[in-house]
Chain A
Amino acid sequence: MDIRKTLKGLYALWFREFRVFTREKSRVFSSVALPLFWYFIFGSGVGSMTTNVADYQHFIFPGFLAMTIIFTGLFAGAYIVWDKKIDFLKEVLITPLSRTTVFFGKAMGSMTDALIQSYFLLLVGVLFLGVPFTASSIILSMVMLFVFATGLISLGLIIGSFMTSPEGYGLISSFVIYPIFLLSGALYPLDNLPGWMQILTRLDPATYAVDGLRAVILGKSTMAYLPNLMIVLGFDVAMMFVGTWAFKRMKL
């Protein structure tokens, strides 16, 4: 009985987010087009400085998969701030649903968004970009993306739960999101960095997601796939823990 109530609540929250997502055609378009756009600009632009453009493009492809997720994580947080602003959050918080359910419902809504984007980019990579793929590397990549999205969206929701104005959220989240992306090794190899920066990159969960993706897609990585996945899973658990706590103490 209680489980059914929770599932229905999760479905409701997911349904709303999915409806809004599909109704805003521009959002659907930009969510799949934007990562590609960045990929080509970076791949060709920065790639032109390297000896082999195709190699560089393949090198950063996993980073761009991770990027789509990092930016949806940011959006998930912005969306909860938006819900506060339009007072829709009151309507959700006054229902008998627990705050934990609300947290996971919101997370699931953004998960759809993140997975559509990153899986689409993966598909484009397989079909058109000549990134080398096997069936198992596609599946392992999808698993990694799923696991990484869970953590990053939770992080977005945590930051969002503390903020009340979209402007404030934009400011704070850029201090979190950009370092996560730029320190992850998405755009450059981490081997030759100065020591202090190495430490920072090790603290960045995206480093492990990108490295894990590289392990299966390129076969070249610092660590193997599994340890990377475990670390990202650990990050997920921590984020979900903090996230449900943050939602319980969230004020309107």
Chain B
Amino acid sequence: MESIKITELVKKYDKVTAVDGINLTIEEGEIFGLLGPNGAGKTTTLMMLSTLLKPTSGTAIVNGFNVVTHPDEVRASIGMVFQDPSSDTLLTGYENLKLHALMYNLPWKSIDKKIDSVLELVDLQKRKFDVVKKYSGGMRRRLEIARGLLHEPKIFFLDEPTLGLDPQTRQHIWEYIRALAKKIRMTIIVTTHYMEEAEKLCSRIGIVDHGKIVALDSPAYLIRSTGGDIVNIKGKNLNLKEIEKLPFVKGIKNVEGKYLISVENAGKNLQHLLGLAGDVEFVEVRSPDLNDVFLFYTGREMREAGEEVSFMQDAMRTS
């Protein structure tokens, strides 16, 4: 059964078109990754799917309900971890969760037990009665993941759940998510900047750029679709026209003075390629990863700098 079906979804703000005609179907039980640079439209898409934002046009069906005509039913089916922290820092972890449980109409008797079980899942029992102000960023994030799970949603949205966290915490959070997906049959939609993580975690990935999905498939297939190995060369007066004509060359992308060439069977064909190339100063051969996939589909690099900017914005917004 399909969990989510999006057709020609568009969101326009005054000047920008944040989401520009997305079509997407996500099956029940999938872990689906939305990948894209800052401003690609990931958050906007999730906000429309969670009924907090009205689409300009197009339709989105979530758990069988139209987000525009049946928003209440949609909201009852979903859980969400927002990109920006959204817990009340003056309340304790426990109080934040209890508040959530009450708003979702969980039976009184089950509330404390449920709270304990989600707190255990994210390893926060010891801080249960501390006010959230005293939590670290990672702990707060984990609390919000626990909160999103408390009412056992059918569909769970996570918007950059690991943004700005240290690698260890990041890994922990992904482990929780994976364990969860195994334990409860839940559809998970996650957005992230971290390619390696998406590659390991997601069953399918949609690459978003300028509000459009530019590639959509399993990570392995996406990587294969770049056409083999990646040869990264730098040099003067490179003979690109000749290289492009070679039968084993699948594509060339210029990225900040370097050329990324996707090559079938680089082990065999590299010598031939370099012989033609001209004045080469630097060569690197590697198997492609999702970073390269992104690059091949968008012609741009998903830079670390982008993450920092976005992280700074978060810090400024919440301070």
Beta-carbon contact of B95 and A19 below 8 Å: yes
Q: Encode A67-87 as 1/0 by CB contact (under 8 A) with B.
A: 000000000000000000011
Interface size class of B (residues with CB under 8 A): 20 to 34
The smallest C-beta distance from B71 to any residue of chain A, in angstroms, reads 9
Contact of B86 among A9, A13, A90 (CB under 8 A): A90
Which chain B residues border A5 with CB–CB below 8 Å? 105
B199 to chain A, nearest CB (A): 29
CB-CB < 8 A to A88: which residues of B? 86-88
* Segment 20-56 of B: residues with Cβ below 8 Å from A: 50-53
Cβ-closest chain B residue relative to A15: B99
Residue A26 CB within 8 A of the other chain: no
Given the complex, which residues of A lie within 8 Å of B87, measured CB to CB?
Answer: 88, 91
Task: Tell me the bound Cα distance from A94 to B99 in angstroms.
Answer: 13
B82 touching A16, Cβ below 8 Å = no
Binary contact readout B79-100 vs A (1 if CB under 8 angstroms, 0 otherwise):
0101011111111000100111
Q: Which of B58-74 contact A (CB under 8 A)?
A: 72
Given the complex of chains A and B, what is the CA–CA distance between A175 and B229 in angstroms? Answer: 66
Q: Does A191 contact B (CB under 8 A)?
A: no
Residue A129 lies at the interface, judged by CB distance under 8 Å to chain B? no
CB contacts (< 8 Å) of B72 on chain A: these are: 96, 98
Q: Is the CB of A91 within 8 A of B86?
A: yes
Identify which of residues 11-34 in chain A touch chain B, using a CB-to-CB cut-off of 8 Å.
11-13, 15-16, 19-20, 23-24
CA of A144 to CA of B50, assembled, Å: 41
Partner of B102, one of A8, A91, A94: A8
Q: A9-B102, A12-B102, A19-B95 are in contact. Are A87 and B86 (CB under 8 A)?
A: yes
Q: Is B104 an interface residue (CB 8 A)?
A: yes
* A41: interface (CB < 8 Å): no
Say yes or no: B84 contacts A96, CB within 8 Å.
no
The contact size tier of chain A is 20 to 34
Q: In the complex, what residue of chain A is closest to B88 when comparing beta carbons?
A: A88
State whether A20 touches B90 (Cβ < 8 A).
yes
Indicate if A127 sits at the interface (CB-CB under 8 A).
Answer: no
Q: Could you say which of B75, B90, B98, B131 contacts A94, with CB atoms under 8 Å apart?
A: B75
| Bound CA span A4–B131, Å | 29
A136 within 8 A of B: no
Closest to B54 in A: A251
Of all chain B residues, which has the CB nearest A6?
B105
Q: Judge if A124 is at the interface, Cβ distance under 8 Å.
A: no
Q: Does A199 contact B (CB under 8 A)?
A: no
| A93 contacts chain B at the CB level, 8 A cutoff | yes
Nearest chain A residue, comparing its CB with the CB of B318: A86
CB-CB < 8 A to B99: which residues of A? 12, 15-16
A252: Cβ under 8 A from any B Cβ:
yes
Report how far A252 CA is from B54 CA in the complex, Å: 11
Given contacts A86-B318, A87-B84, A96-B72, contact A9 B90 (CB under 8 A): no
Structural contact, A90 and B102, CB atoms closer than 8 A:
no
Verify if B16 is at the interface (C-beta below 8 Å from A): no
139-169 of chain A: CB within 8 A of chain B: none
Please state if A12 and B52 are interface contacts (CB–CB under 8 Å).
Answer: no
Whether A12 contacts B103 by the Cβ 8 Å rule is yes
Q: Which 5 A-B pairs have the closest CB atoms?
A: A12-B102, A87-B86, A95-B103, A96-B76, A5-B105
Interface CB pairs A-B, < 8 A, 17: A12-B98, A15-B99, A16-B88, A20-B88, A20-B91, A86-B89, A87-B86, A90-B86, A91-B86, A94-B50, A94-B75, A94-B78, A94-B80, A95-B100, A96-B72, A96-B104, A252-B52
